[in-house]
Structure 1
Amino acid sequence: MSLAVKRQLVIVTGLSGAGKSSALHAFEDIGFQAIDNLPLTMLSQLLDEAISGDSDAPIAVGIDSRTLHFSPSKFEKALGTLRGRSDIHLHVLFMDASDDVLMKRFSETRRVHPLGEGRLLRAAIRQERDLMVPIRQHVDGLIDTSKRTGAETRRTILNRFTAHDEPNMVVTFMSFGFANGVPRDADMVLDVRFLRNPHYVPELKPKTGLCEEVASYVQADDGFEPFIEKTMGLVNFLLPRYRDEGKSYLTLAIGCTGGKHRSVTVVERIAGQMTLDGMTVNRYHREIAGDERR
């Protein structure tokens, strides 16, 4: 079977409370056949029936610790079998969030953790995280929802997978603040704290890198243009190599101290240039309020 007629299969896995159900709903919105909590023993049968059927829609399947007879070894074995099939294109997506965020979500919704069984909630979360460690080694992509709203998680999935069949990779440039932690779902991280900082200019401090005044101030640093040139060279060097390895999207996180001035300016500049070059590009400014994000 040729690559052109391979059926796309996304397995959505990860930690309970990290947004797997929301992810499956997002896949449904872009035309996937979405099935949650499918027993591993039924996966091959599902694929055979779907591929022999009338529909050619891609498939998204939720499989995690809730799944009947789930174990990391069985999951790894199933992935090995799937990757050996010539009629599907497999992508394993891992949904993650910090322990504190998961604690808060379970407490607010009063849901019982699947591995609770009388344990303290934090202990159940840690047990599931330990259980999923072997699986993390086999994933093709990760979305950390710790600092993402449900709408932002949905938009991330739509941006990544709607364009899956386009010639170019989908590249996401994310600004962030080191003060709030490094994004765990970034493929690459760059530090721009060497650039001049608008935080110390009273009239610029309350604004963001989306404002022309802040952008002009940051771009006036004599290190700005050389950094942009070298970063563009690095990205352009890496993209075809990632593509050759079967990667369909790349997330490059660019950080400064607070994540509102320098990193935002750099992301806007690089993403704008990549768009002009014909790439499929997304921008995500983690530390900026929702109404200011692009």
Structure 2
Amino acid sequence: MSDQGPGEVSPRVVLVTGPSGAGRTTALRVFEDLGYEIIDNLPISMIPRLFTGAAPEHPIALGIDVRNRDFSTHAILDLIDAGEAGWSDRIQVLYLDCRPDVLVNRYSETRRRHPVSPNETPEAGIAKEIDLLQPIRIRADVLIDTSEMSPHDLKSELLAVFEAGEDANLSVSVQSFSYKRGVPRGLDLVFDVRFLRNPHWDPTLRGLTGQSEGVVDYVTADERFVPFFDKTRDLIEFLLPAYRDEGKSHLAIGFGCTGGRHRSVTLAERMAKALADKGWQVSIRHRELERQGGGGA
């Protein structure tokens, strides 16, 4: 039973977690800028106390990782599922993911020991931690892969998702990517657009991107483009209210093609605009263009 009195409301708490080195410290700084109360590495057994007594003035961002005293995967899952105590609908889990090879590079740069296996190689500690956190990752409300992100990129992504506050509409992230480099982790919906004709084979378009007028005209001239786009947009517009009503706060949509520079970029740009025109809160990322210094809108 909660110790809250009549009229008192449990605080909104964002649990910020993920493998060490994935960007948790950066994320907590962003939440601090957004006006959240920041609590880092609070013993797991003490977290339920946040939901008793008078509600705090500000929402809380709670940093959790394997260094927390009495950390256990089961304890975190029990916390998320604490429906009988009346706070489960106030908890949002933000999981910052990252590829193992990127984490290894980050540890090599800082020369830090891994908290899970301080006497072993970083690779060993990273593998153990990822395995330990996997059940929590599956339960995440918002999953962000920081493998290709700078701290600035991560800040922009977090602001897009959380800046509007607790009563905000469902936020949507539309991304383009190359299948050669794999499907980005954290996508909720993925659409393969490699069936559309490829501007890569036109020498005058090869060096351009899907943001260029010539490429856009080339891709949209494919007779399959309009039916595919219209059906996909209708499907997404049908699903978004359902996801919002189910309590989801962030939805990531990906469009993939061979190189991630032309067809997927055009589709992502076009879909992001269509959804924004309908009033949805939309951010957009072009993974391959960002890697090549091409930015992305």
TM range (shorter): over 0.9
Tell me the distance in 2 between the aligned counterparts of 1:194 and 1:90.
Answer: 41
Query: Do the aligned partners of residues 178 and 83 (structure 1) sit closer, same or farther apart at CA in structure 2, a change above 3 Å counting?
Result: farther
Tell me the distance in 2 between the aligned counterparts of 1:219 and 1:4.
Answer: 54
Aligned to 1:198: 199
Question: Contact (CA 8 Å) 1:37, 1:62: kept in 2 or not?
Answer: yes
Question: Contact (CA 8 Å) 1:18, 1:102: kept in 2 or not?
Answer: yes
Which amino acid is 1:243 matched to? R
Which amino acid is 2:267 matched to? V
**TM-score, with structure 2 as normaliser:** 0.92
CA RMSD for the aligned pairs?
2.2
Which amino acid is 2:275 matched to? M
Query: Which stretches in structure 2 are left out of the alignment for 5+ residues?
Result: none
How far 1:134 moved relative to its partner?
2.2
Of 23, 29, 34, the residue aligned with 1:25 is: 29
Q: Secondary structure at the match of 1:287?
A: helix
Tell me the distance in 1 between the aligned counterparts of 2:254 and 2:271.
Answer: 12
> Within 5 Å, which residues of 2 pair with 1:10-49?
10-48=14-52
Which moved further from structure 2: 238-247 or 40-49?
Answer: 40-49
Which amino acid is 2:52 matched to? D
Tell me the distance in 2 between the aligned counterparts of 1:2 and 1:220.
Answer: 62
Aligned to 1:122: 123
- Which deviations, in whole Å up to 9, do the C-alpha atoms of 1:186-211 show, x marking residues without a partner? 11111000111111111211111111
Q: Secondary structure at the match of 1:207?
A: coil
> Within 5 Å, which residues of 2 pair with 1:168-247?
168-247=169-248
Q: Please say if 1:8 is aligned against 2:17.
A: no
Question: Contact (CA 8 Å) 2:8, 2:55: kept in 1 or not?
Answer: no
Q: Secondary structure at the match of 1:230?
A: helix
> Within 5 Å, which residues of 2 pair with 1:7-156?
7-48=11-52, 51-53=54-56, 55=57, 57-81=58-82, 84-86=85-87, 89-156=90-157
Tell me the distance in 1 between the aligned counterparts of 2:84 and 2:60.
Answer: 15
Q: Secondary structure at the match of 1:288?
A: helix
- Which deviations, in whole Å up to 9, do the C-alpha atoms of 1:140-180 show, x marking residues without a partner? 12111111111111111110011244553111110111111
Q: Secondary structure at the match of 2:81?
A: helix
> Within 5 Å, which residues of 2 pair with 1:250-269?
250-269=251-270
Tell me the distance in 2 between the aligned counterparts of 1:124 and 1:115.
Answer: 5
- Which deviations, in whole Å up to 9, do the C-alpha atoms of 1:181-238 show, x marking residues without a partner? 1010111111000111111111211111111111111111111111110111110111
Query: Do the aligned partners of residues 291 and 202 (structure 1) sit closer, same or farther apart at CA in structure 2, a change above 3 Å counting?
Result: closer
Q: Secondary structure at the match of 1:158?
A: helix
Which amino acid is 2:229 matched to? I
Tell me the distance in 1 between the aligned counterparts of 2:68 and 2:135.
Answer: 16
Aligned to 2:296: 293
Which amino acid is 1:91 matched to? Q
- How many corresponding residue pairs? 291
Tell me the distance in 2 between the aligned counterparts of 1:89 and 1:208.
Answer: 42
- Which deviations, in whole Å up to 9, do the C-alpha atoms of 1:240-267 show, x marking residues without a partner? 1111210011110111111111001001
Which amino acid is 1:208 matched to? T
Query: Do the aligned partners of residues 2 and 138 (structure 1) sit closer, same or farther apart at CA in structure 2, a change above 3 Å counting?
Result: farther
**TM-score, with structure 1 as normaliser:** 0.92
Tell me the distance in 2 between the aligned counterparts of 1:83 and 1:258.
Answer: 49
Query: Which stretches in structure 1 are left out of the alignment for 5+ residues?
Result: none
Question: Contact (CA 8 Å) 1:7, 1:87: kept in 2 or not?
Answer: no
Tell me the distance in 1 between the aligned counterparts of 2:20 and 2:111.
Answer: 13
Tell me the distance in 2 between the aligned counterparts of 1:195 and 1:3.
Answer: 56
Question: Contact (CA 8 Å) 2:209, 2:265: kept in 1 or not?
Answer: yes
